[in-house]
Amino acid sequence: MTHARRAHLLASGACDAIDKDDVDSVRVGEALAQTQTPSERG
Amino acid sequence: MNSAADHAGATISPPRQPDVDTRNQGARSQMAAGSNSCGGSFLARRSDLIKSRAENRSAPPDVMVIEDESIDAERLMATLRVLLGYDHEIRWTSTLGDAVNRVVERIPDIVFLDDALKPSSDAAQIIPLLRGAGFSGPILLSVKK
């Protein structure tokens, strides 16, 4: 994924873009944590 | 004769074994009473910590995966189950039309979206459709390199 492609996807309303080859509990957990508000994180 | 009858009627009791449960119980009560030097108090504290975390944890989010490649979907859902719990329901759909229908049916908290659904749907085109269906939560894209 190029930087321009990532920027385009994020500009279209996505919160994060994960490479399919990088799907693991650490990366997905990081992406999920970004979606939570600080109070939800605790 | 008499001694033979006595022998036949006699019950044979097994040799007495040390009472294992009682012995362990004694050790457990020692650990529970616990000085700082034994592991029992540490384990008890750790158990209380895990319980309190479980009680305070909010309900896991309602996640929907929109992915047309079943292998990628399975891998993502397996990872999500590790993070959110194996009994947590994760909805999966492979087509855009079905995804919009399911969003209308029940709005998820988080959507994982394939950046290129077959035959030719780009994520930049799909996101406005999901927003139009009433979904306003976070969208996480899974992208091919």
Smallest Cβ–Cβ distance between B79 and the set A12, A23, A42 belongs to: A23
Is residue B53 domain-shared with residue B67, that is, in the same domain?
no
- Residue with the bigger pLDDT between B47 and B27: it is B47
A4 membership: H or E segment, kind and range: helix A3-11
Q: Are residues B130 and B81 in the same domain?
A: yes
Task: Looking at the structure, tell me whether residues B53 and B91 fall in a common domain.
Answer: no
Assign B41 a pLDDT band (cuts: 50, 70, 90): confident
Say yes or no: B75 and B136 in one domain.
Answer: yes
Partner residue facing A12 (CB), from B110, B123, B140: B123
The percent of residues above 70 in pLDDT, for chain B, comes to 61
pLDDT level of residue B137 (50, 70, 90 thresholds)? very high
**Nearest CA distance, A29 vs chain B (angstrom):** 7
- Largest Cα span, chain B: 102
**Do B51 and B109 belong together in one domain?**
no
Locate the chain A residue with the closest alpha carbon to B59. Answer: A40
Distance from C-alpha of B142 to C-alpha of B113, rounded to nearest angstrom: 6
On whether both B90 and B41 belong to a single domain, the answer is no
**B50 located within any domain:** yes
Question: In chain B, whose CA is at the least distance from the CA of A37?
Answer: B138
Closest CA–CA distance from residue A3 to any residue of chain B (Å): 11
Cis amide leading into B119 (omega within 30): yes
pLDDT in tens, B59-91: 888 999 999 999 999 999 999 999 999 888 899
Q: Which of residues 1-40 of A touch B (CB under 8 A)?
A: 1, 5-6, 8-9, 12-21, 23-25, 28-29, 31-32, 34-35, 40
CA distance readout (Å), B83 to A18, B3, B68, B92: 16, 73, 22, 17
Give how far B76 is from chain A: nearest CA, Å. 7
CATH of the domain at B89: 3.40.50.2300
Q: What is the mean pLDDT of chain B?
A: 78
Q: Are residues B115 and B53 in the same domain?
A: no
Q: What's the pLDDT score for residue B122?
A: 87
Q: Quick check: A17 and B127 in contact, CB under 8 A?
A: no
Residues of chain A with pLDDT under 70: 37-42
pLDDT reported for residue A14: 93
Range of the domain at B42: 31-57
Kindly state whether residues B94 and B109 are assigned to the same domain.
yes
Average pLDDT over residues B44-57: 64
Residue B109, domain member (yes or no): yes
| Statement: residue B1 has pLDDT above 50 | no
State the total domains in chain B: 2
Q: Interface pTM (ipTM) of the complex? A: 0.88
More confident: B42 or B108: B108
Contact residues, chain A, for B131 at CB < 8 Å: 13
